[in-house]
């Protein structure tokens, strides 16, 4: 008979997520072991997150290189219609939420994506400044440079915020977070200003009254403001 390579303890660990192992360690009063397991779970999630954002950006780059930049927008629109829009259908209009609630949702998502967040507030809006854990990380990691660079969009349009260039991954911000919400009859999720070069932060403006969103914020995504 071939000797077993896996012990019962090995199998138990393989079948139990690290966070559940951490809970068990806490229940046993072993806080040091629980902390170690939580750190390992975060490291594991970070690796999977990096794999996913590179997978997405590689696919978007292929689409753009093979079919043109407008096809990148079409692909993102499909995601918006089939995934993003249903997620927004919570029974509460996004525009009706206080800016504080909207800011907390976005900040929570960015922290969950392993970013860093700075928060400021003035009379008109809340400003979130991110060291982005997804699109920003790709920029800072140099993934848009070199022989195997991911696609940078160069056609000035709403999907690039009317800029001369925009990193392919960041186009979901213009398409799914601003263009499509306006087309669905709402205001942009937030008014976003993605980095233009490595090391810069991504800045989001959340207006306390969405009626105060500047006309230019709409026109840079190829839309006219509601008042027009």
Tens of pLDDT, residue by residue over 34-55, are 999 999 999 999 999 999 999 9
The residue extents of the domains of the chain are: 68-219
> Tens digits of per-residue pLDDT, 182-222?
999 999 999 999 999 999 999 999 999 999 999 999 999 99
Cβ atoms 130, 117 nearer than 8 A: yes
The single-letter DSSP state of residue 2 is P
* Closest listed residue to residue 153, CA positions, set 196, 203, 205, 201: 196
User: Is 126 a residue whose pLDDT tops 60?
Assistant: yes
User: Is 145 a residue whose pLDDT tops 90?
Assistant: yes
* Closest listed residue to residue 49, CA positions, set 124, 118, 115: 115
Cβ atoms 114, 136 nearer than 8 A: no
Per-residue exposure over 164-177, b if at least 16 CB sit within 10 Å of its own CB, e if not: eebbbbbbbbbbbb
Q: Which pLDDT score is estimated for 2?
A: 83
Q: What is the rounded average pLDDT of the residues 152-169? A: 98
Q: Which pLDDT score is estimated for 94?
A: 94
The single-letter DSSP state of residue 110 is H
> Tens digits of per-residue pLDDT, 64-119?
999 999 999 999 999 999 999 999 888 999 999 999 999 999 999 999 999 999 99
Residue 155 and residue 165: Cα distance in Å, rounded?
A: 7
User: Is 1 a residue whose pLDDT tops 90?
Assistant: no
Residue 211 and residue 217: Cα distance in Å, rounded?
A: 12
- 148: pLDDT confidence band, cut at 50, 70 and 90? very high
pTM: 0.92
The neighbour count for residue 199, using CB atoms within 10 Å, is: 9
Residue 114 and residue 143: Cα distance in Å, rounded?
A: 18
Rounded percentage of the chain residues whose pLDDT exceeds 90: 95
Q: Which pLDDT score is estimated for 88?
A: 87
Q: Which pLDDT score is estimated for 228?
A: 52
Residue 40, judged by CB atoms within 10 A of its CB (0-12, 13-18, 19+), counts as middle
Q: Which pLDDT score is estimated for 227?
A: 74
Residue 206 and residue 185: Cα distance in Å, rounded?
A: 17
């Amino acid at each position: 008979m071939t000797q077993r390579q896996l012990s019962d303890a090995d199998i138990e660990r393989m079948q139990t997520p690290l966070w559940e192992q951490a809970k068990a360690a806490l229940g046993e009063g072993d806080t040091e072991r629980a902390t170690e397991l939580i750190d390992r779970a975060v490291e594991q999630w970070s690796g999977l997150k990096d794999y996913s954002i590179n997978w997405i950006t590689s696919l978007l780059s292929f689409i753009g290189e093979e079919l043109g930049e407008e096809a990148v927008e079409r692909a993102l629109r499909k995601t918006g219609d089939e995934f993003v829009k249903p997620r927004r259908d919570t029974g509460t209009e996004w525009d009706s939420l206080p800016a504080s609630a909207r800011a907390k949702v976005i900040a929570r998502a960015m922290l969950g994506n392993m970013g860093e967040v700075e928060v400021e507030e003035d009379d008109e809006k809340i400003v979130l400044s991110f060291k982005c854990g997804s699109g920003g990380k790709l920029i800072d990691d140099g993934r848009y440079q070199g022989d195997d660079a991911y696609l940078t969009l160069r056609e000035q349009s709403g999907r690039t915020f009317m800029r001369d260039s925009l990193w392919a991954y960041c186009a979901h911000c213009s398409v799914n977070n601003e263009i499509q919400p306006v087309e669905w009859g709402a205001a942009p999720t937030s008014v976003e200003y993605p980095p233009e070069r490595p090391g810069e932060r991504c800045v989001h403006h959340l207006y306390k009254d969405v009626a105060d969103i500047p006309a230019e914020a709409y026109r840079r995504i190829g839309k006219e403001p509601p008042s027009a």
